[in-house]
Amino acid sequence: MNANDRNKRLHAAVERMLEAKGLSAPYFTGAAPFDTERPNSHDTKADFLTEKAATEAAIKQCEDLYDLILSGFGGEGRVDAVAAASICGFVDVNRHYDQQGKRTNSIPEFILKGMIDHSLSFSLGYALHAFQGGLLDKLQHLRDQEREFWSNASRPPKHYARAIALRLARFYCKEVGEFPTSGVSGDGGHPSTDYTRGLQEVYEVLGIQAQVRNMADWAVSQLTEDDIKRPRFGLGSILGLGQASRVPGLLSGSVLPTDE
């Protein structure tokens, strides 16, 4: 089976899973609906720790830059508001003048021109929101790997099956907005919940041999409220991203949750 056919089948599986909740699956773009790569790609613990440290550093750098923009546009950032407004204002005007008269010959140049025309600093807030969201997901994956591969004397069995079960459970949380449940029917032991039926289909597509109920039970047990409350930046209503929220300590576990 080629990658495109595999991804189509995965998309169909999650679509059936979500249809049971009256929802539609994300538009199929040719990619898998969630990460299906094997959970560990590091040859040594040193390689793993290097990547984890780089990810944490990038998240902190995003926060520092975001604080500048937040303060510059009247939010509750940690940078002096007058200084931040002056810096953001200079950057916006300076890049606007620099952009004048230049032709856009590529999609990235066209996008950059739009950001500058709107306000480079303000537009960067949107880009940072998306970029840090990706970094936070990456850090979550690395922490999963740390538990699975680098914190124990031996690797647990069925680590790929566990990883896929947990990723599908988190995908379910994100799309449905509630925790999935696991279970099997009393007559025949077939999956009896939307999530476990979806997981069984995903395992079949990926060629994973594992007890669906056991893997589903384990994955559901790993979920926390942070999997329901998606991370959000503090600029909030200023950027039109929802109500502002702020939680100190960007690297202390799952960060910047949405407000109640």
- Per-residue pLDDT reduced to its tens digit, 88-101: 999 999 999 998 88
The answer to whether residue 188 scores a pLDDT higher than 60 is yes
Q: 68-77, 92-101, 238-247: which range is least confident on average?
A: 238-247
**Judging by beta carbons within 10 Å of its beta carbon (0-12, 13-18, 19+), is residue 107 exposed, middle or buried?**
exposed
With contact defined as beta carbons under 8 Å apart, do 176 and 21 qualify? yes
Q: What is the pTM of this model?
A: 0.60
If one compares 120 and 39, the residue with the highest pLDDT of the two is: 120
With contact defined as beta carbons under 8 Å apart, do 99 and 116 qualify? yes
Distance CA 43, CA 255 (A): 29
* Residues β-bridged to residue 176: none
**25: helix, strand or coil:** coil
Which DSSP category does 150 fall into? Answer: I
pLDDT number for residue 231: 53
Query: Mean per-residue pLDDT for 64-68?
Result: 91
